[in-house]
Amino acid sequence: MAETALAPPPGRTTRRVRVVTSVTIVVAVALAVLIVPPLAQLDEQAVDLSNKLHPPSWAHPFGTDDVGRDLLLRCVYGLRVSLLVGLVAALTATVIGTAIGALAGAFGGWADRIVMRVVDTLSSIPHLLLGIFIVAMFRPGVWPVIISVALTHWISTARIVRSEVLSLRSRPFIDAAVSGGASRGRVIVRHLLPGVLPQAGLAAVLMVPHAMWHESALSFLGLGLPAHQASLGNLVQSARGSLLAGDWWPTLFPGLFLIIPTLALAGLAGAWRDRINPRRKSELML
């Protein structure tokens, strides 16, 4: 009976395993994109037509692509670019969404109504369609994709932050600050923003894989990064012909490099959500 009483609940053990696995994958991915390219000292663009479309082997663990380039090195470089796009776009979108949502919730009235009408209008347009429209105004490159993702993904963060600010405005400490003579700007900066930062951080973590998939979709359609630049979307797009010919590895491994970090970041985001929402965590432990 004593051993049973001391044993952790099954749900807690499962969550702990999920968090440890997610952290391990994220650390492994970070080490791969930071360490492998400098240590490899190989050109991921090096073409060897005599070695094209070789299946996975000891010399090339992921095989080679249709012009003989090492697919493992290409996947690492592609993940590096996709992560860069995802991180910068997610942080930019989070800053924009947090600022707009906090101002709308704090000021209320006509400012809130105007912001929410803009948010509703943009929400009615598919992200990918709006992103294609934005990218089409620039030459293919990293920064047009980042701008496209950031300008189409701040909406959900703005909604979350606005809702949190409206909840915080009704708290007694906000009334006390206003009664003490604090200006609206001081209330926003000193009291409201710190209260919404955990939710904004969670939104940013969840947005990174979303931004990576968005970049991959744009690159797959030929509207994102230049075709010669390694990104996960470009790798999958260039492997379509190989897949139809029965060569599965040029498509499988870039797809795994896209899916596995996404699942790991989702696991970390779930643990973060449980931490900032104790009520949900206690419900899961029952």
What is the end-to-end Cα distance of the chain in Å, rounded? 19
- Per-residue confidence (pLDDT) for residue 276, from 0 to 100: 67
3-state helix, strand, coil in the chain (%, to 5): 75, 0, 20
Average pLDDT over residues 243-258: 84
CA distances (Å), 131 to each of 84, 125, 209, 253, in order? 18, 10, 16, 26
The whole-model pTM stands at: 0.79
Q: Which pLDDT band holds residue 1 (cuts at 50, 70, 90)?
A: very low
Look up residue 195 and give its two tokens.
């209260």
CB atoms within 10 A of CB 260: 14
Domain boundaries, the chain: 79-285
Q: Give the separation between CA 36 and CA 28, rounded to whole angstroms.
A: 11
The 8-class DSSP code of residue 137 comes to T
* pLDDT tens string 269-283: 777 777 766 454 433
- CATH hierarchy code of domain 79-285: 1.10.3720.10
* pLDDT tens string 252-266: 888 888 888 888 887
CB atoms within 10 A of CB 13: 11
Cβ 94 vs Cβ 149: under 8 Å: no
* Phi, psi (rounded to 5 degrees) for 68: 85, 10
- Per-residue confidence (pLDDT) for residue 45, from 0 to 100: 63
Alpha helices in 41-126 (DSSP H): 71-107, 109-123
